[in-house]
Amino acid sequence: MPSKYIIGIDLGGTNLKIALLDLSCRIKKKHILNTSSFIRKKSLIRAISDSVLKIMDDSGLKKRQILGIGMGLPGPIDADRGVVHFFPNIPGWMEVGLKKIIEKKLSIPVFMDNDANLMALAEYKLGAARGSKIAVCLTLGTGVGGGLIFEGRLFRGSSFAAGEIGHMPINEKGPECNCGGIGCLESYIGNRRIMQLAQKIFKRQVSLEELSRLAKNNNKKAVKIWEKVGSQLGIALVQVVNLLNPDCIVIGGGVANAGRILFDSVEETILSRAMIVQAKAVRVVKAKLGNDAGMIGASLLVKSKIWS
């Protein structure tokens, strides 16, 4: 009998990542495409379906060998109906029935959830949040996503839209956010905003990787930027810590690669500003599964739906 596999998709504001995984959620092959290459909705949908077919063809697999396709998506969605409400950082997506579209194109079962939810699921099952009772997981990239684990289960909220930490306001009169809000956390620490701040300070373009490297080499300007980012993130997390009393906060995504400077700033802000009981109970850790967490979480989603 032919082996079965799962395809995991992690769509972000910057990259489209597609992986072939075995039933133990181990990645066998993956492709990464730049999301900005597919400006229009139809071209991005075509890129998703074409990438699925390509990874199957590269692996010599037939459709009957694919258990299902799991998709992590960067915004609020209706996970039951498979409908994208909108993407804050990818224009042109409003109330799109993506599940039906992809299933019609590929004749393979499709299951969807918010990308940060799937990152949280992966980190809880296989990564840094294993053993936690209440975990808050964040992915810091183009956007700032959040996923919540309560008593071993994903908490999705009444409209499947819980966990949007990136859209918690941290300033009453801050900048307008892509979600339509004012002063959202994402408006301050999304990677584009960080690079804009770095360009203003260094008077040239600076990538996140270079900014992290400069900070680790004790460049005072870079250190100050990451400390500010950590403080702003910490302020949002103080609210989360006081409200939910988690025992673990997992931080992943490209911004998390800034390292201890960022994490120290987050921890110091929580300890100094959260209520003492909640602050002492929580540990702040870096995600273990790195950039693969969303795809691994997508495979866990498929398994949970197919074998529930």
Give the chain's domains with CATH numbers.
5-117+292-306 (3.30.420.40), 130-287 (3.30.420.40)
DSSP state of 88: T
Q: Does this model's pTM top 0.75?
A: yes
> Residues 106, 41, 186, 279: what is their CA dihedral angle, to the nearest 10 degrees?
-20
47: amino acid identity, one letter: A
What are the backbone angles phi and psi of residue 150, rounded to the nearest 5°?
Answer: -115, 120
- Residue in this structure with the two tokens 């930027």, named with its chain if needed: 225
Q: Could you list the pLDDT tens digit for every one of the 308 residues in the chain? A: 568 999 999 998 778 999 999 999 999 999 998 887 777 889 889 999 999 999 999 999 999 999 999 999 988 899 889 999 988 878 888 999 999 999 999 999 999 999 999 999 999 999 999 999 999 999 998 889 999 999 989 998 888 889 999 999 998 888 998 888 999 999 999 888 999 999 999 999 999 999 999 999 999 999 999 999 999 999 999 999 999 999 999 999 888 988 899 999 999 999 999 999 999 999 999 999 988 999 999 999 999 998 86
Question: Which H or E element spans position 122?
Answer: helix 115-126
DSSP state of 120: H
